[in-house]
Structure 1
């Protein structure tokens, strides 16, 4: 049934520990228990924070080339364990195997990028001789690690979203404590297994699946200098509890994608990208295509092609290479999306393709005329459902796209340079992707949102900037 080993340890202060095997990890397709892992308690979290606190000086003194070597070791080991990591994703997250292999590739990319950045964390020379009073003074800065970091990651990208916190922390010289999602902890524990093979200082890392209550110290403890959270809008409540520490939040969205009268490419190619963006990983992505805003001149042709594409996507066992739609993370998630669709239809929406649910399997859905006050329109659907609406002129499309409390990324298909630049000027989002869907991400680019979508930016270099701070030196000569 499963290629996973049955029992996994957690990591406290860099050491494997198995105080219990209370966390059962389900195969998301079969529903059977695939593996067990320890469920850490508040005492273990305290031990991990204390170990990280004690490791601050050693991590700060750990040379940049040594940090690079640790990250390069991870790249080698992840490459060697590529298929094992992909199978783990397929099982614990229900991610179709082709997509799972792609996420492993991104895990490797993220650590490789961080390895390169580890020896490029520089500073600047400041000209302080601005008047007679300051003649003979010279200034310079270098970036130093902020100290202990705490991370909480979600279920939908159990490898890559962990990598975007862990790899920059190592590059920056910050000890850390990570709480992975309890539904998908195995990928993070494999990363811990590989980190335990390295020469990281004692106490430099902890990876602890635990309950939200037992993780409270990761938010509130004053020894922690930076708290980074990826997940839902509960992040704003966590921020209110975080005190003086730096906070980075990536909180999702309901991304819009505009298809202009001249999309700038063949309509079939646009459809292919829209379907992928809306239904990849059963829509369980913060930047999945949720709202398709199409010019009236292309709307009908686009709807016809999208209908055919949505109806013919292969749903089933994620281990099958032909599967595009695997299971959602659990039945509650699938039921929620189904309820939102039913609510929208009862409110006057038209189901071009009505999603069908069987347990936690949900086929794709495509709707139009969705009321603006429906949850399916206003909130983050986080499922394989997209909405269509028309526009007459481009400024109207921009207004529709901005009519959201979210603002993570937006996509624009247009052949007009003026429209592309106007979108970049006008769209209230952390990123604007022209010629593709908002679901596009490369792991070295700044990534994050505005409005309810979050605070700060991820992407390796941006994360390193948050995990370091400038220290000034002034010399009087």
Structure 2
């Protein structure tokens, strides 16, 4: 990795400007260990100042016409297109995401803000036929969608630019203001986007970025009565805590999964290998809908395992800034050690490691495990690492039962040419979305995205996030007076 040089000191972004903190913490590259920045650590007072800034700005911004909000978002799209390579390198440095995937994330971020600009122009309600009830004769009613107020957004490390866009884009499109707390390992992307919004003409105070520990910054955002909604992407444990503390605040929680795909007996193995490799190992498996579990029918199981293992062993491991790298470091050594522990636990309980399972220059190799007990952590919990299990099944019904035997339910996939099996899977899989003839890792940024069970509440995707971030208001006219 090319050296950055002197680590830059990064301040808080409050009320449209840089604000210094009393303390700063070093930010290290997950891949090289080099110090790449000094990050401001906000205290409760500074967090509350950011909330006040957003609260004050809402009084003006909520009245800004939709076409002006859309124009700001469109300008961000233009600016980010111009600086796409710079933005991708920033993502790669702070998160160790291979540069090819980082460039893909920037492209998706551009799409997300473009969708947000479009949706800003079509936020509307509906007319209610009051004369459908005897007591409603002579009355006309309609609904409006009004911005909710200050939104507290807490984002993860794995898509540090696009998942910020999924909070910031719809919030601004709807006329809300924000206090954003990015993940501690990936604050640079969020601060970068805040500067782009300022350059695009976003009024001061609409977007505030507060870096620091979740126990301080996150707590202050969640508990402050001026914050009307919390939108969070992260672990179920933290999400459940947020929900419990949020009281009557609205919450949208995207909490991860152990996503699965089913390979029916008529699956063309050659056709699905590349997609399954992408689903399992892109971004080192650090994706909420990463393909973690594969249930292959016994008729295709042996061929699939052989081809999948061969493909996994071909993936290049190394520097995230190398355009040929497919697998780089996990976000921290702590996460690497946890994943290794889960792999060893599965091995001790009868599973067979058929690829990977160890470190190469500090990087966890793409790992494939077969014959896994469903109770092992690599199967029943979210591994969030380049680890995938493949188990043999005898029928589509058995596979569906295994998929549903999970505390999570975000997305699932099924490959089949049998329409009855496809319909059965789409009807009975306990997930927020079913992908027929594709991996569960499929996502485009305007689709409704969210899960059931411990995978969360609410939906993202620009139109659907705007619905979450607005209040429905009814207006009734009595025409008989």
Q: Give the TM-score, by structure 1 length.
A: 0.97
Deviations 1:445-471 (A, max 9, x none): 011110011111111111100001111
Match of 1:460 among 452, 459, 462: 462
Q: In the alignment, which of 234, 244, 249 is matched to residue 253 of structure 2?
A: 249
Task: Compute the displacement of 1:359 (Å).
Answer: 6.4
Aligned to 1:258: 262
- Given the superposition, is the C-alpha separation of residues 133 and 96 from structure 1 closer, same or farther in structure 2, using an over 3 Å criterion? closer
The separation in 2 between residues aligned to 1:17 and 1:297, in whole angstroms, is 62
**CA displacement at 1:76 relative to structure 2:** 0.7
Give the stretch that moved more between structures: 275-284 or 195-204: 195-204
What per-residue deviation string (whole Å, max 9, x for no partner) do you get for residues 28-51 of structure 1? 211101122322111110001111
Partner of 1:7, secondary structure, is strand
Query: Offset of 1:14 from its aligned partner?
Result: 2.3
Separation (CA, whole Å) in 2 of partners of 1:188 and 1:146: 22
- Residue in 1 aligned with 2:235? 232
Question: Residues 416 and 436 of structure 2 are in contact (CA less than 8 Å); yes or no, is this contact kept in structure 1?
Answer: yes
- For 2:264 and 2:305, the matched residues in 1 are separated by 14
CA contact (8 A) 1:182 1:210 kept: yes
- Long gaps (5+) in structure 2: none
* Greater displacement, 460-469 / 368-377: 368-377
Shift of 1:136: 1.9
Aligned-partner SS, 1:196: helix
Q: Residue by residue, what CA displacement relative to the aligned partner does 1:42-77 show, whole Å, maximum 9, x if unpaired?
A: 111000111111222212101101110110011011
- Partner of 2:355 in structure 1? 353
Which of the numbers 199, 202, 206 marks the counterpart of 1:200? Answer: 202
Q: In 2, distance between residues paired with 1:359 and 1:152?
A: 32
CA contact 2:23–2:42 (8 Å) conserved in 1: no
CA distance in structure 2 between the partners assigned to 1:171 and 1:199 by the alignment: 14
* 1:169-188 map, 5 Å: 169-188=171-190
SS at match of 2:414: strand
Structure 2 CA distance for aligned equivalents of residues 101 and 19 of structure 1:
32
Equivalent residues in 2 for 1:143-158, closer than 5 Å? 143-158=145-160
Q: Evaluate the alpha carbon distance shift between residue 35 and residue 131 of structure 1 in structure 2; reply closer, same or farther with a 3 A threshold.
A: closer
Alignment of 1:367-382 (within 5 A): 367-382=369-384
Aligned residue-pair number: 475
**Pair 1:218 & 2:221 matched:** yes
- Segments of structure 1 that go 5 or more residues without pairing to the other structure are none
Quote the Cα distance in structure 1 between the aligned partners of 2:320 and 2:53.
39
- SS of match in other structure, 2:281: helix
Cα separation, 2, equivalents of 1:292 and 1:100: 26
TM-superposed CA distance for 1:393, in Å, is 1.2
Match in the other structure for 2:419: 417
Give the distance between the partners of 1:360 and 1:167, measured in 2 at CA.
36
CA contact (8 A) 1:20 1:37 kept: no
Paired position in structure 2 for 1:328: 330
CA offsets per residue over residues 155-177 of structure 1, 9 Å max, x none? 11100110000000000100110
Pick from 288, 309, 313 the counterpart of residue 311 of structure 2. 309
Question: Within 1, Cα distance between the matches of 2:204 and 2:278?
Answer: 43
Tell me how large the CA RMSD over aligned residues is. Answer: 1.4
d(CA) in 1 for partners of 2:98 and 2:463? 30
Shift of 1:473: 1.1
Give the conservation status (yes or no) of the 8 Å contact 1:328–1:360.
no
Q: Is the 8 A contact 2:170 2:466 kept in 1?
A: yes
How far does residue 20 in structure 1 lie from its aligned partner after superposition? 5.2
SS in 1 for 2:420: helix
Partners of 1:299 and 1:74 in 2: CA distance: 47
Q: 2:93 matched to which residue of 1?
A: 91
- The corresponding residue for 1:297 is 299
Tell me if structure 2 keeps the 8 A contact 1:2–1:91: no
The residue number in structure 2 matching 1:427 is 429
TM-superposition CA deviations, 1:235-272 (whole Å, max 9, x none): 10111011110011111010111011112xx4222111
How far is 1:202 from its partner?
Answer: 3.4
- Note the alpha carbon deviations across 1:260-289, whole angstroms, 9 max, x for none: 1112xx422211111111111111111111
Kept after mapping to 2: 8 A contact 1:333/1:360:
no
CA distance in 1, matches of 2:367, 2:4: 32
Q: 1:128 is matched with which residue: 130, 134, 137?
A: 130
Secondary structure of residue in 1 paired with 2:400: helix
SS of residue in 1 equivalent to 2:329: coil
Structure-2 residue corresponding to 1:399: 401
